[in-house]
């Protein structure tokens, strides 16, 4: 366990979810994550730490990204997705939440930017970057973004519908692809990258994408009964081969014994690491795994 929940922040009452890592100039990591207030509304927080001495963590006491204005797409919650650096600007993509009537919630992709190394952030728009449209008629969320030769490439969650199970609406979503010239205005064609494995699987979430040479690597979580973390590879970022063995083994007991979710993979101090959540969608905090080095 790297960060326990709730974090020591005055307004946070539960959860530390959907971690995002930013390597600072002094060698420490800044981890952005979502935590909930007394009304169970998610806001984005951050902590600066050194992985070799995480007990010396320095938490930011005010929200990095607060709720949107009443009536906007993110007035009921904001949850972290990914961070992109372009020149001197940082782009923090997130999912904005609103509550529904016929279904429990809607969420869409939003973005805040910082020109002062993450000390302050501003929304690029009060509207979502990926609103509902004919390609994505239900919802969008949790993008992973890379920049290649001037093209911004995004892999994101897209809703495929709602069904009723045990008298309650149940969401269904998988992963699609989009492109942009500026990171703000996106072109969507409906290209599906990771689809459902079988009829029992109904949610595929939180992609994390890295390119190693000619190989694109994706980690994501998917669930039927509960979330597990999986891996896929691609030669072009469009056609993916999915591997069906979970990346992280469930513990026999404890914080991630029931669920492993929301992976974020990054390189730090010469080694590849993964931040992820365990039971309760981040209710038990954030864990850290290091990839085994080839012998």
Q: CATH number, domain at 191? A: 2.115.10.20
Q: Is residue 234 part of a domain?
A: yes
In a domain, 8, yes or no: no
What range defines the domain where residue 185 resides? 14-289
Structure tokens at 1: 């366990």
C-alpha to C-alpha distances, 131 to 65, 72, 77, 126, nearest whole angstrom: 19, 12, 16, 12
Q: Report pTM.
A: 0.96
Flag whether 61 is in a domain.
yes
Domain assignment present for 206: yes
Question: Does 48 map to a domain?
Answer: yes
State both tokens at 137: 């008629």
Residue 143 is assigned to a structural domain of this protein: yes
Asked if residue 1 belongs to a domain, the reply is: no
pLDDT score, position 293: 61
Say how many domains are in the chain: 1
Handedness of CA 30, 125, 162, 233 (dihedral sign): negative
Give yes or no for a contact between 262 and 18, defined as CB atoms under 8 angstroms apart.
yes
Could you list the pLDDT tens digit for every one of the 295 residues in the chain? 899 999 999 999 999 999 999 999 998 999 999 999 999 999 999 999 998 888 889 999 999 999 999 999 999 999 999 999 999 999 999 999 999 999 999 999 999 999 999 999 999 999 999 999 999 999 999 999 999 999 999 999 999 999 999 999 999 999 999 999 999 999 999 999 999 999 999 999 999 999 999 999 999 999 999 999 999 999 999 999 999 899 999 999 999 999 999 999 999 989 999 999 999 999 999 999 998 764 3
Is residue 294 included in any domain, yes or no? Answer: no
Residue 206 has which token pair? 């939180």
């Amino acid at each position: 366990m790297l960060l326990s929940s709730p974090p020591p922040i005055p307004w946070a009452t539960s959860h530390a979810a959907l971690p995002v890592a930013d390597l600072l100039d002094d060698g420490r990591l800044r981890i952005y994550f979502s935590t909930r207030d007394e009304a169970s509304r998610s806001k984005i927080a951050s902590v600066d730490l050194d992985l070799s001495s995480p007990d010396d963590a320095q938490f930011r006491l005010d929200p990095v990204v607060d709720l949107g204005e009443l009536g906007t797409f993110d007035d009921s919650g904001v949850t972290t997705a990914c961070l992109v650096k372009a020149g001197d600007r940082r782009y923090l993509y997130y999912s904005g939440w609103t509550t529904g009537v016929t279904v429990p919630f809607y969420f869409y992709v939003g973005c805040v930017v910082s020109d002062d190394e993450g000390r302050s952030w501003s929304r690029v728009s009060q509207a979502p970057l990926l609103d509902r449209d004919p390609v994505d008629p239900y919802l969008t969320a949790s993008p992973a973004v890379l920049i290649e030769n001037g093209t911004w490439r995004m892999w994101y969650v897209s809703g495929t519908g709602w069904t009723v199970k045990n008298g309650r609406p149940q969401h269904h979503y998988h992963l699609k692809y989009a492109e942009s010239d500026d990171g703000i205005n996106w072109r969507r064609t409906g290209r599906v990258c990771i689809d459902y494995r079988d009829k029992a699987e109904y949610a595929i979430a939180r992609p994390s994408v890295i390119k190693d040479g000619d190989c694109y690597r994706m980690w994501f979580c998917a669930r039927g009964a509960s979330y597990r973390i999986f891996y896929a590879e691609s030669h072009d970022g469009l056609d993916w081969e999915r591997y069906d063995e979970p990346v992280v083994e469930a513990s026999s007991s404890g914080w991630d014994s029931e669920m492993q979710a929301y992976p974020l993979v990054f390189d730090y101090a010469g080694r590849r690491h993964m931040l992820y959540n365990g039971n309760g969608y981040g209710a038990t905090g954030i864990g850290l795994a290091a990839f085994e080095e080839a012998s």
